[in-house]
Amino acid sequence: MPSDKSLPVDRAYFTAVIIFILGLGTLLPWNFFVTASQYFNDRLNVSTVTTNGPVKDYRFDSWMTLLSQLPLLIFTLLNSFLLQWVRERVRVAFSMLSILLLFSLTAAMVHLPLSPDSFFSVTMATIWFINTFSAVLQGSLFGLVGLLPSRYSTLFMSGQGLAGIFAALAMLFSILSNADKRTAALGYFITPCVATLGTLICYLFLPHLEFARFYLNRSQNKKEETEKELFGSGDKTALNDHIKDVEAKALEKSKFIAELPESPKRSSVPAVFKKIWLMAVCVTCVFAVTLAVFPVITVKVQTVYKENSAWDRVFTCVCCFIVFNAMDLAGRSAPSLIQWPSKESRLFPAAVFSRVVFIPLLMMCNISGSSPVTLFSHDSVFVTIMALFSFSNGYFASLCMSYAPQFVRSKDCETAGALMTFFLALGLSLGASLSFLLGKLV
């Protein structure tokens, strides 16, 4: 094994920057569709009034959430098995190209004169397929990042947090823009097209970096280094016997299989799950709580300064989407400075499950209409709750995704990443289902 001094260096932090951009690219689809909710609803309503008279309730937000999470849940599970037959490079490149084409279709539809029913159907199909490819993409990239040092998992999660800010700022500029709604929407959807293309280019460049190449191929590197140091070009039979002896001794002394250089075969999916099940449950809980109230409940909160029309226009964008995504990004970045509780601590799952308290807290803010109880009417209280809610989401999600690969061998990191992505999607799906019930209560 090479000494620490001989390990390659991430020169100019190129690998770190690329991992951050890859994280950004994985959540662009979800965030750009969520923040464009007003555009879709306005177009459906205006089209319906123009062509058919009375406004038809398409329940766009509910269907968007459902059709976003179902394929994400299904295909992250399939990805756990597909990764063993389809090369990671093929999965990632094909998924990114497909997402790029589907975003281009969404941008092209801005100026297409479609009937409301046709527009709704095409948009729903686009959402379904974009999230299908996003599921494959996320699972593959989480597995890839798991091969790198743990701090790169934090950078990847931070990039995902930036995707939300990216989309929220785009929405804010669209609201404040003097351009007509169609032109603003076209610019809005062209943005993720350019960003996705840039993400693909960064991914293709990653294997050409010495630092990244070392860790992505470290299992092979370990074997070759052992051969060179111990035997050079000596007898292969002696080499194999020695390796078996070293492996047996290492197995007795090592607590975590990830440190072993043996066994070129991947472990089965159930075997990997047994080692990461607690992290899987925790990440499910994190996102179930989050999606149960965001954005279904949070977008219904109103400002107390209704007389200020300018603030009223941007209140939801700023206090809901921008605050959430900014603090979520801060939470995802925080583990690079401190990781508490540790992965073995019982406080970790306790802290994760304590986030359930945010559900009633947000439901008791200044929600328009029929909120059963309003205890926190002022804008500042809502912003404070949202800040803590979103920071804890990013922080615990990042810790879960960072801790999980540490429980398995390097050969199984990709499987662990795919499984964690599946349970992340499961949490989103559970939260989306719960949001239907909570939405009716307010």
Q: What is the domain-level CATH number for residue 280?
A: 1.20.1250.20
Rounded to whole angstroms, the Cα distance separating 312 from 174 reads 15
Containing domain of residue 35, as a range?
Answer: 9-215+265-441
Report whether 298 contacts 386 (CB < 8 A): yes
Give yes or no: residues 150 and 228 share one domain. Answer: no
Closest-CA residue to 139 (of 220, 194, 84, 65): 84
Give yes or no: residues 116 and 250 share one domain. Answer: no
Give yes or no: residues 383 and 406 share one domain. Answer: yes
Give yes or no: residues 170 and 246 share one domain. Answer: no
Establish if 55 belongs to a structural domain: yes
Establish if 373 belongs to a structural domain: yes
Q: pLDDT (tens digit, 9 = 90+) per residue, 138-155?
A: 878 888 888 888 788 878
pLDDT of residue 282: 97
Q: pLDDT (tens digit, 9 = 90+) per residue, 196-248?
A: 999 999 999 998 888 888 888 874 455 445 444 444 444 445 445 554 554 45
Mean pLDDT of the chain: 81
- Number of domains within the chain: 2
Establish if 385 belongs to a structural domain: yes
Token pair 């070129």 in the structure block, residue:
264
Establish if 4 belongs to a structural domain: no
Rounded to a whole number, what is the distance in angstroms from the first to the last CA of the chain? 60
Report the predicted TM-score, pTM, of the whole model to 2 decimal places: 0.73
HEC readout, 253-322: HCCCHHHCCCCCCCCCHHHHHHHHHHHHHHHHHHHHHHHHHCCCCHHHECCCCCCCHHHHHHHHHHHHHH
The SS3 of residue 113 is: coil
Q: Tally Cβ neighbours within 10 Å of residue 177.
A: 13
- Domain finish residue from 259, 285, 318: 259
Q: Quote the percentage of the chain above a pLDDT of 70.
A: 82
Rounded to whole angstroms, the Cα distance separating 334 from 330 reads 6
Q: Which amino acid is at 294?
A: F
Mean pLDDT value across residues 119-126: 93
Local confidence band at 370 (pLDDT 50, 70, 90 cut-offs): low
pLDDT of residue 251: 45
Rounded to whole angstroms, the Cα distance separating 137 from 112 reads 29
pLDDT of residue 259: 44
Establish if 420 belongs to a structural domain: yes
pLDDT of residue 221: 53
Give yes or no: residues 104 and 233 share one domain. Answer: no
Cα–Cα distances in angstroms (integers) from residue 304 to residues 74, 365, 379, 439, in the given order: 42, 11, 7, 21
pLDDT of residue 119: 92
> Own/partner pairs for 294-299, CB < 8 Å, 24+ apart?
294/320, 294/324, 294/389, 294/390, 295/34, 295/37, 295/320, 295/321, 296/61, 296/65, 296/435, 296/438, 296/439, 297/362, 297/363, 297/367, 297/435, 297/438, 297/439, 297/442, 298/324, 298/362, 298/386, 299/37
Q: Which amino acid is at 392?
A: S
Report whether 61 contacts 100 (CB < 8 A): no
pLDDT of residue 153: 82
Return the structure tokens found at 17: 């920057």
Establish if 1 belongs to a structural domain: no
pLDDT at 435 over 90: no
Give yes or no: residues 232 and 344 share one domain. Answer: no
pLDDT of residue 1: 46
Give yes or no: residues 150 and 290 share one domain. Answer: yes
Give yes or no: residues 207 and 318 share one domain. Answer: yes
pLDDT of residue 6: 67
- Domain finish residue from 235, 259, 283: 259
Return the structure tokens found at 20: 């951050």
Return the structure tokens found at 27: 């959540």
Give yes or no: residues 103 and 81 share one domain. Answer: yes
Give yes or no: residues 43 and 98 share one domain. Answer: yes
Give yes or no: residues 198 and 293 share one domain. Answer: yes
Phi, psi of 376 (to 5 degrees): -120, 90
Establish if 72 belongs to a structural domain: yes
Q: Quote the percentage of the chain above a pLDDT of 90.
A: 32
pLDDT at 323 over 90: yes
Give yes or no: residues 336 and 235 share one domain. Answer: no
